[in-house]
Amino acid sequence: MNSMTAKLCGVLALMLLVPGAVLAQLPAVGSATGINAAFVKLFGSISAFSARVDTLVFDKSQQEAVRMPMDFAALDNNIRLGINLEQTTSKDLPASTIAALKQAGMDRIISLFRPDKKATFVLYPNSKTYVVLPLTKGEAEALEKGLTMEKTALGKETLDDHACVKNNVVVKNQQQTVLEATTWNAADLEDFPIQIEMKGKEGTVRMRFKQIRLAKPDAKQFEVPTDYTLTTLTQ
C-alpha cells in the first residue's frame, strides 16, 4: 500500500465511518471508527439484527456535509458496517479521491467492531486487505466496567409508518456521561431505534434504519476472511 493511498484510507477509516466524526467531539470512550460500546448500548436488549442505514452528517450550520448509505448488522455486541464510497456524497470527499481509492481497490469498506478481540477490523474487499485498529484505553475500560443506559420519553412520532416513542438516551460509564442521543423506538419492532440522532460540537449525525430484520445474521460476517492480507496505515 503506497503512502498516499494509506493516508486516504486512514482518513476514511478514522473520519468517515460514521458516527466517528461526531462522537469524536463528545466526551465518549470511543473507538477510532466511532462505533463503540456506548453506541451499541442504544439498541437495548436487541442483540441480533441486520438493516440498511441512511446516514446524514450535518455541519455546525446544519448544512448536509455527508450522505452515506450503509449495510449494518449486529450480533452479540459485534457490529458490521459496509460502505460503498461510490454511493457516498461528501463535500470533503471529491470524485478524484473516490476514483483513486477505487483504482487501489479500496472504494468498498467493511468495518468490524469486535469488543471481544479489543479491536476494530477495517476490511477492503476489492483488494482483500485489512487493518487492525485496537480499542482505546478508555473503550477497553468501559467494556470491563460496564455501561448503563437511561431513557427518557420525549413524546410520540411516526416514522416510515412505524409508531415510535421519541427518547432522550444517556449512556454512562459509572457516573460519567459518555454518549447522549435521541432515538425513535418502534413499538412494532420490539422497541428497535429506527432513527438515532447524535449531536456534537462539530455537527449532527442522523441514522435512519430501514429493511430491518430482527434475526441472527451469519456469524461468519463478523470474521476477517482467511484470504485477506493484513496491512498497515502509514503516513
Is residue 162 in some structural domain?
Answer: yes
- CATH number, position 83: 2.50.20
User: Strand runs (DSSP E) across 64-202, as ranges?
Assistant: 64-75, 78-84, 89-90, 108-114, 119-124, 129-134, 148-159, 162-173, 176-186, 192-200
- Decide: 70 and 53 in contact? Cβ < 8 Å: yes
Q: Has residue 110 been placed in a domain?
A: yes
Query: C-alpha cell of 18?
Result: 460514521
Query: Which range of residues forms the domain containing residue 86?
Result: 3-216
Is residue 228 one of the residues assigned to a domain?
no
> Is the residue at 225 inside a domain?
no
Is 102 inside any structural domain?
yes
User: How far apart, in Å, are the Cα atoms of 134 and each of 38, 63, 198?
Assistant: 16, 33, 24
* Cα separations in angstroms, 38 against 31, 77, 91, 142, 225: 10, 11, 28, 8, 27
Residue 129 lies in a domain: yes
Q: What's the half-sphere exposure (Cβ side, CA atoms, 13 Å) at 78? A: 19
Chain centroid to Cα 53, Å, comes to: 10
Would 221 be classed as within a structural domain?
no
Q: Rounded to an integer, what distance in angstroms lies between the CA atom of residue 144 and that of residue 108? A: 32
Give, for all 235 residues of the chain, the pLDDT tens digit: 444 444 444 444 434 444 444 444 333 333 444 567 888 899 999 999 999 999 888 888 888 888 889 999 999 989 999 988 888 887 777 777 778 777 777 788 898 999 889 898 989 899 899 989 888 776 766 666 678 899 999 999 999 999 999 999 999 887 788 889 999 999 999 999 999 998 877 788 899 999 999 999 999 999 999 999 998 765 4
For 10, 55, 189, 224, 228, the CA distances from 98, given in Å and listed in that order, are 14, 18, 36, 24, 22
Which residue's C-alpha cell is 415510535? 164
Domain-embedded: residue 222: no
Number of domains in the chain: 1
